[in-house]
């Protein structure tokens, strides 16, 4: 019985070390595979109870586990959609075959890195056929709330590289100085004119014209102007008219003292804004607060548009996309504007090492890993997303080669045990000749 148990133990040792050698081989051959997580083989002894002073060898059992929570080093690349996770968390992806089949929702897989580029359909897809998943943004660039404990809200990230985009103008700020001499009794009364381009809801260029008409008194100085606004999109119709009175005191000279609305939206002294309705909708115009010099002023004898600022842009072509550290996918246009089109969350699990390992460095949540939760990158326990980067394999080749030597020696030793047991059995057989 004891000799037989020694033979079985030797065979178990050969099997266990063969398993360990297989994991070492897998680690070494994937030492240059981006995102590869090394496999570790552990041995557990099997103990058989002894009776009457005799001892039976129990043997050994090998178990393997993939160390998914171990991260490799990050290396920089030149592709803005090469992504890697720095810290805890994993990127959601799906197989392109699932996405393109159109059979409903795609199965969400997880990975820690990927080199994604737009394919013929505009999907951000890696060379291995994985498509990045994310939450789509609304037309204004905001991302609505989605459920965090399910992948139902995730969609394949699709970038339309031929996309056009324009932003309507909704706000204009005026920094203009009006000549104080134009409101004196002997002034000519000629209006000062200013034309400002704005963009309508379709990105078309329109003009809002502003006439500053001075009030010329019979004597002295009136310090009063009439501001009249007309819209080219409405055939030059007047959209707003306001009477402006300026202060000429020593402490606040040249600043607005009062604004009276004749037509158009009322003046808001708290913000310095008036709202007029152009053809495309309401347009907010900031002329400055009362007593402040950051908007319209009346100083000296020169008409000077000092600063004119506005939002909005004409229609432009998309020139590229980038992903920031918080997972927001931003599209850039040749007009200088940018817009958020997707948000990439990071999935976190209680036990990442319990996930099921699949091809292409992807993993599938399982009961052993626990339920996942989709976090904003950089929020909660998760790290952030690094663009222009890939994660290297977590394999240490020098350590694997050292383990290979140890495994080879252990395998040879177990083979020697089997050889010794064979010789002992042969001696037992030779007792009777």
CATH number, domain containing residue 296: 2.60.98.20
Q: Is residue 321 in a domain?
A: no
DSSP category for residue 234: G
Token pair in block for residue 277? 């309705």
Same domain? 300 vs 387: no
Token pair in block for residue 196? 């400002």
Sequence-ordered list of residues with C-beta below 8 angstroms from that of 164, at least 6 positions apart, any chain = 315, 316, 317, 318
Same domain? 297 vs 347: no
Q: Is residue 29 in a domain?
A: yes
Backbone angles phi, psi at 101, to 5 degrees: -70, -25
Same domain? 272 vs 362: no
Same domain? 252 vs 221: yes
DSSP category for residue 248: -
Listed residues 263, 294, 311: the one ending a domain: 311
331, with CB counted inside 10 A (0-12, 13-18, 19+), is: buried
Same domain? 221 vs 270: yes
Q: Is residue 249 in a domain?
A: yes
Token pair in block for residue 339? 């817009």
Q: Is residue 330 in a domain?
A: no
Same domain? 132 vs 155: yes
Listed residues 268, 290, 311: the one ending a domain: 311
DSSP category for residue 22: H
Q: Is residue 326 in a domain?
A: no
DSSP category for residue 271: T
Same domain? 98 vs 203: no
CA–CA separation, 303 vs 182, rounded Å? 10
CA–CA separation, 117 vs 108, rounded Å? 19
DSSP category for residue 35: T
Q: Is residue 337 in a domain?
A: no
What is the full per-residue pLDDT of the chain (433 aa) written as tens digits?
Answer: 567 777 778 888 888 888 899 999 999 999 999 999 999 988 887 777 656 567 677 778 888 889 999 999 999 999 999 999 999 999 999 998 888 876 666 789 999 999 999 888 888 999 989 999 999 998 778 899 999 999 888 999 988 765 556 678 899 999 999 999 999 998 999 999 999 999 888 878 889 999 999 999 999 999 999 999 999 999 999 999 999 999 999 888 999 999 999 998 999 999 999 999 998 889 999 999 999 988 999 998 889 998 999 887 777 677 788 999 999 999 887 777 788 889 999 999 999 999 999 999 999 999 999 999 999 999 989 999 999 999 999 999 999 999 999 989 988 988 888 888 878 888 788 887 6
Q: Is residue 323 in a domain?
A: no
Q: How many CA atoms lie within 13 A of 42 on its CB side?
A: 4
> Are 214 and 333 in contact, with CB atoms under 8 Å apart?
no
Q: Which domain holds residue 222?
A: 169-311
Q: Is residue 325 in a domain?
A: no
Same domain? 126 vs 235: no
Measured in residues, the chain has a length of 433
CA–CA separation, 340 vs 52, rounded Å? 77
Same domain? 128 vs 31: no
> Are 227 and 221 in contact, with CB atoms under 8 Å apart?
no
Same domain? 292 vs 303: yes
Same domain? 295 vs 181: yes
Number of compact structural domains in the chain: 3
Same domain? 384 vs 402: no
């Amino acid at each position: 019985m004891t000799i037989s148990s020694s033979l079985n133990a030797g065979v178990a040792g050969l099997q266990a070390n063969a398993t360990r050698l297989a994991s070492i081989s897998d680690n070494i051959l994937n030492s240059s595979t981006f995102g590869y997580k090394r496999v570790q083989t552990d041995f557990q002894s099997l103990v058989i109870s002894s009776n009457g002073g005799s001892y039976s060898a129990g043997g050994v059992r090998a178990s393997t586990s993939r160390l998914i929570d171990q991260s490799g080093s990050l290396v920089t690349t030149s592709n803005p959609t090469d992504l890697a996770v720095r810290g805890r968390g994993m990127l959601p992806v799906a197989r392109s075959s699932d996405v393109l089949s159109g059979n409903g929702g795609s199965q969400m897989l997880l990975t820690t890195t990927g080199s994604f580029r737009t394919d013929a359909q505009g999907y951000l897809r890696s060379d291995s056929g994985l498509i990045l998943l994310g939450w789509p943004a609304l037309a204004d660039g905001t991302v609505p709330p989605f459920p965090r404990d399910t992948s139902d809200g995730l969609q394949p990230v699709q970038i339309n590289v031929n996309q056009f985009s324009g932003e309507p103008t909704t706000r204009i700020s005026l920094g203009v100085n009006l000549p104080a001499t134009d409101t004196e009794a002997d002034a000519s009364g000629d209006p000062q004119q200013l034309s400002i381009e704005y963009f309508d809801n379709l990105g078309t260029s329109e003009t809002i014209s502003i006439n500053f008409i001075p009030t010329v008194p019979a004597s002295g100085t009136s310090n009063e102007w009439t501001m009249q606004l007309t819209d080219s999109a409405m055939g030059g119709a007047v959209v707003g008219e306001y009477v402006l009175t300026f202060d000429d005191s020593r402490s606040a000279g040249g600043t607005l003292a009062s604004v009276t609305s004749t037509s158009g939206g009322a003046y808001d002294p708290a913000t310095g804004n008036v709202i007029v309705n152009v053809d495309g909708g309401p347009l907010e115009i900031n002329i400055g607060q009362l007593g402040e010099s950051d908007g319209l002023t009346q100083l000296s004898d020169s008409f000077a548009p000092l600063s004119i600022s506005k939002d909005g842009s004409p229609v432009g072509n998309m020139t590229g996309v980038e992903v920031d550290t918080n997972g927001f996918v931003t599209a850039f246009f040749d007009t200088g504007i940018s817009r958020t089109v997707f948000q990439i969350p990071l999935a976190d699990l209680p036990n990442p090492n319990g996930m099921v390992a699949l091809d292409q460095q992807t993993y599938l949540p399982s009961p052993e890993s626990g339920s996942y939760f989709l976090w904003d990158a950089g929020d909660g326990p998760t790290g952030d997303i690094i663009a222009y980067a890939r994660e290297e394999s977590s394999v240490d080749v020098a350590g694997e080669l050292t383990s290979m030597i140890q495994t080879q020696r252990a395998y040879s030793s177990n083979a020697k045990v089997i050889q010794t047991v064979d010789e002992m059995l042969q001696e037992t057989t030779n007792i009777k000749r």
